[in-house]
Amino acid sequence: MRRLRNVKIVATLGPSSSDYESIKALFVAGADVFRLNMSHGSHDEHRERHAIIRRIEAEFERPIAILADLQGPKLRVGTFADGPVDLEVGDAFRFDLDPTPGDAKRACLPHPEIFAALESGSELLVNDGKIRLTVDECGKDFANCTVTVGGAISDRKGVNVPDVVLPLAALSEKDRKDLEFACEMGVDWLALSFVQRAEDVLDARNLAKGRAAVLSKIEKPSAVRSFDEILAVSDGIMVARGDLGVELPVQAVPPIQKQLIRKCRAAAKPVIVATQMLESMIESPMPTRAEVSDVAAAIYEGTDAVMLSAESAAGQFPVEAVETMDKVAISVESDPTYREVIEASRYAKRETVADGIVAAAREIAETTDISAICAYTQSGKTVVLTARERPRVPIIALSQLESTLRRITLTWGVHAVRCGELTRFKECVVNAARAARDYGFADETQQIVVTAGVPFNTQGTTNILRVAPCDERLIYSTDPE
């Protein structure tokens, strides 16, 4: 099965998409990566969905990436004695550690780490920022505040603290259990929620022990400020615009999104744009024009993937949502302006032999009659470097390692194909030519570019580039070795 676009689609699974038929329908419609949201559902439910995805993968003989999204620390207020309380602008309100149910004057905030980090003038946001309070006075177990944006506050609403770095681990005890479960089950990516600093990512990497790649969700101002350090220790990034738009002015999110995408591309690390992309399709079979423009903007910016959350997990039209994203992507990528934008933002720094090889492959493919770039890889690094170039021709990734192929399925423009262990470069060329023909990227009259490394089956050795015919008779006649 070949996609007619380069950008990838991530679909979240949930009540609307939990059985074989519905998950298969999402894959056929265009989903390349499936997200398991560890905030919802039991381990048994996630294990069942994981097994279904692997069954579909075997049926279609196409690697599918599975991303387990960890919940992260949830900060919530306590309960209220007499139900919701209306707070008005100018009201005084106190948060403390007293577990007694709250009232119109105070409420429990059972997170001492918040009080430890607060200062006079800090802001507290409740219920996705619908209620805002400014701290007037605080101590190790209380914060006296003034309401600046009023509303109804009720039991266990979420709390955001945008302007401080909380002394709080990104991995809760639940996250650590979920991480181990997901790695043992065999997911390909772990998404780490509420990252604040690079150390949060290193903690998750130490627990994952290479069993899954680690993707950092950028959803806090502190993560934006520390982004370069976070990117350096992450395998990928998710621009999680939901909480980011709560903790930052909404008008700041679009330029931040653009900046983060460019930095990820320069680092050759995949980036997902997520949250509320087709929100109206939870209840409507058609998106709004603004939502379509939002998806298109992310694609024009060069993102590797766009993600559906509730639209595919709990919405009434999950398949239609994937189909819509697929159509938007195909339309954008066929626009000549798309190539102009992508090529104008191409990262030009070259530091390694592999950098030079993939840049040359892209240059040759664009200046001669080449149908595809076929890249052999062990770790996936050569493939993501090739994708950073955003070539005009398809990228066929070949590897004997199923785990590598699954992970790089998230990467822009990549069609992953499994091959056997190779001992000679001629075998590489023959296998690449067969893959290009079998998957409809070329016919016997056309040529491909092949990149590989010697010694074979070793990470970090990309040092060969060859332009080769797709006709095996010509390969054997021109390459006796």
CA atoms within 13 A on the CB side of 323: 10
Q: Tell me if residue 388 is catalytic.
A: no
Are the C-beta atoms of 77 and 157 separated by less than 8 Å? yes
Which of these is catalytic: 275, 303, 324, 386? 275
Are the C-beta atoms of 140 and 95 separated by less than 8 Å? no
CA gap 151, 84 in Å, rounded: 10
Q: Residue 149: helix, strand or coil by DSSP?
A: strand
Q: Residue 324: helix, strand or coil by DSSP?
A: helix
Q: Where are the beta strands (DSSP E) in 72-200?
A: 85-87, 92-96, 106-108, 123-126, 131-139, 142-149, 151-153, 159-160, 189-192
Residues near 433 by beta carbon (within 8 Å), at least 6 away in sequence: 442, 448, 468, 469, 470, 471, 472, 475
CA gap 380, 376 in Å, rounded: 8
From the DSSP assignment, how many helices (H) and strands (E) are in the chain? 18, 21
Question: Which tokens is 282 given?
Answer: 């939870």
Which of these is catalytic: 47, 54, 76, 94? 76
Are the C-beta atoms of 271 and 265 separated by less than 8 Å? yes
Q: Tell me if residue 35 is catalytic.
A: yes
Helix axes 43-60, 20-29, angle to 10 degrees: 50
Nearest alpha-carbon partner for 10 in 327, 312, 246, 334: 312
Q: Residue 215: helix, strand or coil by DSSP?
A: strand
Which of these is catalytic: 3, 5, 24, 35? 35
Q: Tell me if residue 76 is catalytic.
A: yes
Residues near 397 by beta carbon (within 8 Å), at least 6 away in sequence: 375, 377, 380, 383, 405, 408, 414, 415, 416, 417
Residues near 438 by beta carbon (within 8 Å), at least 6 away in sequence: none
Which of these is catalytic: 217, 220, 241, 466? 217
Q: Where are the beta strands (DSSP E) in 392-470?
A: 395-399, 414-418, 447-453, 462-469
Q: Tell me if residue 390 is catalytic.
A: no
Question: Which tokens is 134 given?
Answer: 């400014």
Please give the positions annotated as active site: 35, 76, 217, 275
